């Protein structure tokens, strides 16, 4: 509920304290997760303690991921590029959240046993929790192994780390999204275009395996060469020229091509910062799908070098020099 209110206010508060709002979004999903875990514990369900191969705290990482969704959604919707300090804050909050979960579990344990908290303080609970920790028998789920003793602290530490790192994972996904630092917004998809091989998959598929392999290699080499030529052509163009070259590509996804290249152009909604990528989709000789990233051109930070012979064309679309310098000074 509160998240929605925040989203509606987003444009007006965006330039004031967006980081705080993003943080509150993360706290909201963390609190929901804490209560879900507490509910699970009350029903003899302890996902926090799931380990894979006896060392990877998979359950804690998964729960951390769920609790960290709010940070990622907040930063994407409010166009906040998270910095390193924010990741550190998220990590610290994850550790605190973990102890909050422990405290809630502790209160439900002593409530169930009708023990007053003075008789069994929280710190004793944490110690016993670590030292008495044991894994369920691999073959008999109801059988518990012997207590881990001091090793229990290591596993508890793995759980805390797994949870806190898990909470950062959704934000790391957003962290990798294309962003215009000048305008402080994430880039949007602007246009896609396709190159397709003249050969159809139906005819190539009908060949014998060895011939199919040769044919696919030739088709792949030809389409990769076309894509590289395109990447070369757009590597030094401004946005309008790039977009014009994109319009020459096929806008429709090819059907039944033996190979095609998808070119994606993303653009800043406010300025000409843009980003291009090209990926190949084809088949291998065993008729399985195969794909590869062919090129990535990040034109969000560095303006293309100005061609000496083409000053006029560049000037009309270039941003004012002062703007450019302040951007470079960052
Ligand atoms: Zn921009």
Tell me how far the alpha carbon of residue 191 lies from the centroid of ligand 1, in angstroms. 17
Q: What is the pLDDT of residue 34?
A: 87
Tell me how far the alpha carbon of residue 271 lies from the centroid of ligand 1, in angstroms. 4
CA separation for the pair 257, 203 (Å, rounded): 10
Instruction: Give start and end residues of each alpha helix (H) in 186-254.
Output: 201-205, 209-234, 239-247
Tell me how far the alpha carbon of residue 240 lies from the centroid of ligand 1, in angstroms. 15
In the predicted model, is pLDDT for residue 23 greater than 70? yes
How many CA atoms are closer than 13 Å to the CA of 197, on its beta-carbon side?
26
In the predicted model, is pLDDT for residue 290 greater than 80? yes
Nearest to 257 by CA among 280, 234, 240, 282: 282
Tell me how far the alpha carbon of residue 248 lies from the centroid of ligand 1, in angstroms. 25
CB 315 within 8 A of CB 202: no
In the predicted model, is pLDDT for residue 257 greater than 70? yes
CA separation for the pair 293, 84 (Å, rounded): 28
Tell me how far the alpha carbon of residue 298 lies from the centroid of ligand 1, in angstroms. 13
Beta bridge partners of 195: 261
Beta bridge partners of 296: 277
Beta bridge partners of 191: 265
Tell me how far the alpha carbon of residue 323 lies from the centroid of ligand 1, in angstroms. 11
Beta-carbon contacts of residue 27 (< 8 Å; ≥ 6 apart): 70, 93
Q: Per-residue pLDDT averaged across 64-80, rounded?
A: 92
CA separation for the pair 105, 186 (Å, rounded): 40
Tell me how far the alpha carbon of residue 21 lies from the centroid of ligand 1, in angstroms. 22
Nearest to 3 by CA among 26, 35, 37: 26
Tell me how far the alpha carbon of residue 123 lies from the centroid of ligand 1, in angstroms. 51
Note the pLDDT tens digit of each residue in 132-187.
777 766 565 566 667 777 788 888 899 999 999 999 999 888 888 899 988 889 99
Instruction: Give start and end residues of each alpha helix (H) in 43-139.
Output: 58-67, 69-77, 84-113, 122-131
Average pLDDT score over the chain: 82
* Most confident of the ranges 73-87, 93-107, 168-182, 212-226: 212-226
Tell me how far the alpha carbon of residue 32 lies from the centroid of ligand 1, in angstroms. 35
C-alpha distance across the termini of the chain, in Å: 37
Tell me how far the alpha carbon of residue 190 lies from the centroid of ligand 1, in angstroms. 13
CB 166 within 8 A of CB 62: yes
Q: Angle 72-75-76 (CA atoms, 0-180°, nearest 5)?
A: 85
- Tokens encoding 155: 């596993």
Phi then psi for 258, rounded to 5 degrees? Answer: -70, -25
CA separation for the pair 177, 175 (Å, rounded): 6
Q: Per-residue pLDDT averaged across 219-230, rounded?
A: 94
Q: Using the Cα atoms of residue 284, residue 288, residue 289 and residue 292 in order, give the sign of their dihedral.
A: negative
Tell me how far the alpha carbon of residue 177 lies from the centroid of ligand 1, in angstroms. 14
Q: What is the pLDDT of residue 268?
A: 94
Tell me how far the alpha carbon of residue 180 lies from the centroid of ligand 1, in angstroms. 5
How many CA atoms are closer than 13 Å to the CA of 287, on its beta-carbon side?
10
Kindly list the domain boundaries of the chain, sorted by start residue. 2-177, 185-328
Q: Per-residue pLDDT averaged across 179-208, rounded?
A: 92
Name the band, by pLDDT with cuts 50, 70 and 90, for residue 114. confident
- Please classify residue 176 by burial: count the beta carbons closer than 10 Å to its beta carbon, then call 0-12 exposed, 13-18 middle and 19+ buried: exposed
Q: Return the higher-pLDDT residue of 213 and 133.
A: 213
Tell me how far the alpha carbon of residue 218 lies from the centroid of ligand 1, in angstroms. 40
């Amino acid at each position: 509920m509160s998240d929605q209110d925040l989203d509606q206010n987003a444009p007006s508060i965006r330039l004031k304290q967006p980081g705080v709002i993003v943080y509150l979004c993360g706290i909201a999903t963390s609190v929901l997760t804490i209560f879900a875990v507490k509910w699970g514990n009350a029903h003899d369900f302890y996902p926090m303690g799931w380990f894979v191969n006896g060392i990877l705290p998979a359950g804690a990482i998964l729960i951390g991921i769920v609790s960290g969704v709010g940070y990622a959604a907040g930063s994407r919707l409010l166009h906040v590029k998270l910095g390193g300090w924010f990741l550190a804050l998220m990590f610290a909050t994850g550790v605190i959240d973990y102890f909050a979960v422990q405290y809630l579990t502790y209160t439900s344990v002593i409530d169930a046993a009708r023990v007053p908290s003075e008789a069994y303080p929280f710190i004793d609970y944490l110690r016993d929790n670590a030292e008495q920790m044991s894994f369920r028998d691999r073959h008999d789920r109801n059988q518990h192994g012997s207590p881990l003793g001091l090793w229990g602290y290591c596993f508890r530490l793995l759980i805390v780390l797994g949870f806190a790192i898990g909470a950062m994972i959704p934000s790391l996904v957003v962290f990798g999204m294309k962003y215009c630092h000048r305008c402080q917004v994430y880039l949007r998809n602007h246009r896609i275009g396709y190159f397709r091989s003249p050969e159809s998959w139906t005819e190539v598929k009908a060949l014998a395996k060895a011939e199919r392999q040769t044919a696919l290699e030739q088709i792949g080499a030809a389409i990769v060469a076309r894509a590289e030529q395109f990447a070369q052509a757009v590597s030094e163009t401004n946005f309008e020229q790039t977009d014009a070259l994109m319009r020459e590509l096929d806008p429709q996804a090819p059907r039944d091509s033996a190979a095609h290249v998808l070119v994606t152009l993303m653009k800043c909604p406010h300025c000409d910062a843009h980003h291009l990528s090209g990926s190949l989709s084809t088949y291998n000789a065993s008729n399985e799908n195969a794909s590869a990233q062919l090129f990535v051109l990040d034109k969000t930070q560095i303006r293309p070098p100005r061609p000496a012979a083409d000053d006029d064309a560049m000037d009309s679309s270039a941003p004012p020099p002062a703007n450019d310098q302040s951007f470079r000074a960052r």
